[in-house]
Amino acid sequence: MQFQLQKYSSVDSTNAVAHRMAEQGAEEGIVVVADRQTGGHGRMQRVWSSPVGGLWFSLILRPQIDPRYVAQITLLAGVAVAKTLRNLYQTDEIRIKWPNDLLLEDKKVTGILAEMQLTENQDVDYVIVGIGVNVDPPMDDMPEEVKAKAESLNRSLDKFYSCETVLDAILKEFSKTYQMWQQDGNEAVLSLWKEMNCTLGKRVTVLDEDREVFSGTAVALDAEGALLVQNEAGREASFNFGEISIQYGK
């Protein structure tokens, strides 16, 4: 895939900028990257703190697929970023928490927000993959709730990578993984996801907004990326990551 970088010093949200560009017909491979975001957001409309020092970017894709397969792109993005960071930082301790948060020792180091736009005919028009990597944001200045849950990669792993280096490496890996997925389907992505995940086998509580809807053991990931959870009574329920999130250990 050919990437074309559009760099900004400050934007509301790189996902929002990418949406606006895609609406104007921007092609696949455009990457919107900003030093800081004033309105960065995550899944479930959560605020995503995005000061200078982190890597905040969004990729425009135009896959010709059925909309029900778009969730696979979120998983493949998680796989590509996890592989990149493991290689760069030389650690297998970076793991994927379902669906695609990257954790380092229980602290979040990357979040991914994929958003799809359909045409009037309900085909996929474009997909925006927004990725936030805590390369080296000033953790001391972060809000308390972020400090409790997130960590800077450089600081934790004692490396000094620039955001440009990390972006370059992620784009190379993303391109390879995307190509593999287009040629060979989702199997290989799922098996890499399973290899690097820290969710399967764990006790989880499924949350809709902040309401607990189901507790049990995460037993499997289905072909579309939904998480299968089994409770103590043996009842199984499958959860799609568009609507819910999970917490561990209940």
Contacting positions for ligand BTN (CB under 6 A):
13-15, 37, 40-43, 46, 48, 50, 56-58, 101, 111-113, 130-132
Closer by beta carbon to ligand BTN, 15 or else 197: 15
- Which lies closer to ligand BTN via its Cβ, residue 41 or residue 83? 41
Residue 28 is given by DSSP the state T
CB of 134 to ligand BTN, least distance (A): 10
| Number of Cβ within a 10 Å radius of residue 165 | 14
Closer of 44 and 180 to ligand BTN (Cβ): 44
> 34 vs 157, which CB is nearer to ligand BTN?
34
Name the residue nearer to ligand BTN (CB basis): 88 or 128: 128
Closest distance of CB 180 from ligand BTN, Å:
23
- Report the amino acid identity of residue 227: L
Q: What is the rounded distance in angstroms from the CA atom of residue 223 to the CA atom of residue 71? A: 10
Distance from C-alpha of 113 to C-alpha of 167, rounded to nearest angstrom? 16
Q: How far is the CB of 137 from ligand BTN (least distance, A)?
A: 11
Q: How far is CA 190 from CA 71, 83, 224, in A?
A: 12, 13, 9
If the CB atoms of residues 38 and 182 are measured against ligand BTN, the closer one turns out to be: 38
Q: Residue 88 CB, nearest distance to ligand BTN (Å)?
A: 18
Phi, psi of 93 (to 5 degrees): -75, -10
Residue with tokens 């975001």: 37
Report the SS3 class of residue 46.
coil
What does each C-alpha distance from 243 to 71, 206, 246 come to in angstroms? 12, 10, 11
- DSSP per residue over 7-20, as a string? EEEEES-HHHHHHH
250, 231 Cβ separation under 8 angstroms: no
